[in-house]
């Protein structure tokens, strides 16, 4: 989205920070799905209609060469998907969430957890088509029952501002955001994922000079 805004406004917006919004998980019922290709012919919950999860699910499936004719897709929340997995009504479910996420923690306490790990070829195809989907390696210690690290993709959220904002204003804004991270996290848990090193990397458009000044000051640029 930041790249789209940047291009449409001819560079009138610039990046302040990049943050990981969530990880795209593929939870599988059983052991028949070892890759995205194995989802062909399967019944899969792809998220609520029109949700970010549904959009990302089809992006990932499409990059792997699967179409809507190849997958028996059902819509619903991730909790719906988890319940259907437990009942054996579907084969897999997509969700975009932080790590760890409660629904998967709860599922893993009473069920065998199988998370689909992307192959090198699948990851390369996804990132070629959608560069904003970044690699995220989920450690084996994240959830009960994991037998190894799982390769996923993560969705980034990008904070942008007008390039006409003064360097001083943007510097103070970004500094205040990191100085008050704990208080912000109390208001919204997603701020807990904010990290200066990742916030200063991964942007595909120009960084605002005020943000650049802050990141250089703390030594991450």
Please report, for the chain, the start and end positions of each structural domain, with discontinuous segments joined by +: 2-19+157-217, 20-155
- Residue that is written with structure tokens 């990008």 in the block: 158
**What does the pLDDT average to over 183-201?**
82
pLDDT, mean over the chain: 86
**What does the pLDDT average to over 148-170?**
88
159: pLDDT strictly greater than 90: no
- 7 vs 88, higher pLDDT: 88
Tell me the pTM.
0.75
**Residue 144: pLDDT band with limits 50, 70, 90:** very high
Lookup: tokens for 128: 């070629």
- 171 vs 101, higher pLDDT: 171
199: pLDDT strictly greater than 80: no
178: pLDDT strictly greater than 50: yes
**Residue 5: pLDDT band with limits 50, 70, 90:** very low
The answer to whether 162 touches 11, Cβ cutoff 8 Å, is no
SS3 labels along 141-187: CCCCCCCCCEEEEEEEEEEEEECCCCHHHHHHHHHHHHHCHHHHHHH
SS3 labels along the chain: CHHHHHHHCCCCEEEEEEEEEEEEEEEECCCCCCCHHHHCCCEEECCCCCCHHHHHHHHHHHHCCCCCCCCEEECCCHHHHHHHHHCCCCCEEEEEECCCCHHHHHHHHHCCCEECCCCHHHHHHHHHHCCCEEEEEECCCCCCCCCCCEEEEEEEEEEEEECCCCHHHHHHHHHHHHHCHHHHHHHCHHHHHCCHHHHCCCCCCCECHHHHHHHHHCCCC
The CA distances from residue 17 to 136, 169, 206, in Å, are 18, 15, 11
Lookup: tokens for 206: 């120009």
* Homologous superfamily assigned to 2-19+157-217: Periplasmic binding protein-like II (3.40.190.10)
11: pLDDT strictly greater than 60: no
- Residue that is written with structure tokens 């990046």 in the block: 15
CATH number of 20-155: 3.40.190.10
Lookup: tokens for 8: 């449409």
104: pLDDT strictly greater than 60: yes
The answer to whether 200 touches 215, Cβ cutoff 8 Å, is yes
17: pLDDT strictly greater than 80: no
Lookup: tokens for 126: 């996804």
How far is the C-alpha of 157 from the C-alpha of 52, rounded, in Å? 12
Q: Is 2-19+157-217's fold the same as 20-155's?
A: yes
Of 170, 127, 178, 198, the C-alpha closest to 14 is 170
1: pLDDT strictly greater than 50: no
55: pLDDT strictly greater than 70: yes
**Residue 134: pLDDT band with limits 50, 70, 90:** confident
């Amino acid at each position: 989205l930041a790249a789209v805004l940047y291009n449409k406004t001819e560079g009138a917006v610039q990046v302040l920070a990049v943050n990981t919004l969530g990880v795209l998980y593929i939870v599988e019922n059983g052991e028949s799905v070892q890759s995205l290709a194995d989802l062909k012919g399967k019944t899969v919950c792809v998220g609520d209609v029109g949700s970010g999860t549904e959009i990302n699910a089809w992006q990932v499936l499409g990059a792997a060469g699967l179409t809507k004719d190849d997958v028996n897709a059902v819509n619903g929340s991730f909790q719906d998907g988890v319940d259907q997995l437990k009942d054996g009504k579907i084969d897999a479910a997509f969700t975009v969430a932080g790590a760890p996420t409660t629904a998967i923690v709860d599922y893993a306490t009473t069920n065998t957890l199988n998370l689909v790990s992307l192959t090198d070829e699948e990851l390369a195809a996804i990132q070629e088509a959608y560069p904003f989907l970044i690699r995220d390696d989920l450690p084996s210690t994240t959830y009960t029952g994991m037998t190894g690290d799982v390769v996923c993709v993560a969705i980034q959220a990008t904070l942008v501002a007008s390039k006409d904002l003064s360097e001083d204003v943007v510097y103070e804004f970004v500094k205040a955001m990191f100085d008050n991270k704990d208080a912000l996290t109390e208001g919204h848990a997603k701020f807990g994922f904010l990290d200066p090193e990742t916030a200063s990397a991964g942007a595909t458009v120009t960084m605002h000079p005020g943000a650049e000044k802050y990141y250089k000051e703390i030594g991450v640029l």
